[in-house]
């Protein structure tokens, strides 16, 4: 029995880094293992040796980012809620979005990647796993939104959350020039212009009066 060498974890990380960038830029199907191993400067067979298949590599690429991001989201939300009062919608959205830009320093492709894997690229089996994890986070955020938007029925809150995720995902996937947070700096006011606009837009949509009469609580 021999412990894994340090070289091997270097190789694994180089593969993960290269795959992360290529998956985010070109998509899963359009990225071949040969492109990944060339960019990572490792042998072709290394992918199937360290990860078992291309699909499993995708899951590893996702797993490396999703757990920290989602943990940070819940942590931020809980911290904001500590005052006890219902939060401003903008604050809830901030807790949802900001962690995407704090993870993996100077890797601006991470937000694009997460969107691709959650909604666009991944094949059905993997995507379901990814979405299931994210769904747990959304349920938690829905609880916060419910307190801030008491005029809405549960059905309407769910729908509007999906609409919001849509505009968020579209913005992440489309605009290639979303800057990451300044490294190590404090967080306040560091989100780029387009994301502040987005949060303002989404908050207004969420706050809109209920459309269904039956949804009014009085």
Q: How far is the C-alpha of 212 from the C-alpha of 151, rounded, in Å?
A: 11
User: Which of residues 62 and 101 has its CB atom nearest to DNA in the complex?
Assistant: 62
Among 136, 174, 176, 182, contact with a second copy (rule: CB under 8 A): 174
Query: Which does residue 53 bind out of DNA, a second copy, none, counting CB within 5 to 8 angstroms by kind?
Result: DNA
Residue 14: how many other CB atoms lie within 10 Å = 17
Binder of residue 128, out of DNA, a second copy, none (CB less than 5 to 8 A by kind): none
Query: Token pair 């020039």 is at which residue?
Result: 177
CB of 57 to a second copy, least distance (A): 18
Kindly write out the interface string for residues 44-83 of this chain, putting x where it contacts DNA by CB under 7 A and - elsewhere: xxxxxxx-xxxx----------------------------
d(CA 180, CA 109): 9
How far, in Å, CA of 69 to CA of 104, rounded? 10
CA atoms of 178 and 66, how far apart (whole Å): 19
Place of tokens 């829905």: 142
CB of 190 to a second copy, least distance (A): 16
Q: Binders of a second copy among 75-94, rule CB under 8 A? A: none
Q: Are 171 and 126 in contact (CB under 8 A)?
A: no
Q: Tokens representing 20?
A: 């992360």
Footprint (CB under 7 A) of DNA, residues 25-44 = 31-35, 42-44
Distance of closest approach, residue 28 Cβ to a second copy, in angstroms: 9
Size of residue set near a second copy by CB under 8 A? 34
Q: Which two tokens stand for residue 16?
A: 């993960």
Where along the sequence are the contacts to DNA (CB under 7 A)?
1-8, 10-11, 31-35, 42-50, 52-55
């Amino acid at each position: 029995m021999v412990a894994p060498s340090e070289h091997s974890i270097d190789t694994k990380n180089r593969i993960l880094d290269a795959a992360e960038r290529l998956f985010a830029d070109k998509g899963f199907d359009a990225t071949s293992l040969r492109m990944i191993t060339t960019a990572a400067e490792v042998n072709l067979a290394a992918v199937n040796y360290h990860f078992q298949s291309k699909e499993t590599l995708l899951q590893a690429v996702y797993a490396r980012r999703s757990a920290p991001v989602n943990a940070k989201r819940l942590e931020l939300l809980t911290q904001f809620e500590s005052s006890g009062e219902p939060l401003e919608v903008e604050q809830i959205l901030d807790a949802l979005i900001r962690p995407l830009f704090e993870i993996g320093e100077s890797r601006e492709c991470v937000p694009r990647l997460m969107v691709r894997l959650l909604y666009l690229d991944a094949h059905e089996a993997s995507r379901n796993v990814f979405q299931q994890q994210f769904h747990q986070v959304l349920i938690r955020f829905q609880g916060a939104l419910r307190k801030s938007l008491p005029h809405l029925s549960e059905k309407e809150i769910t729908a509007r959350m999906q609409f919001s995720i849509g505009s968020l995902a579209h913005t992440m996937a489309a605009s290639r020039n979303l800057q990451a947070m300044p490294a190590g700096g404090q967080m306040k006011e560091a989100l780029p212009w387009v994301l502040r606009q987005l949060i303002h837009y989404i908050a207004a949509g969420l706050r809109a009066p209920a459309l269904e009469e039956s949804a009014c609580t009085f």
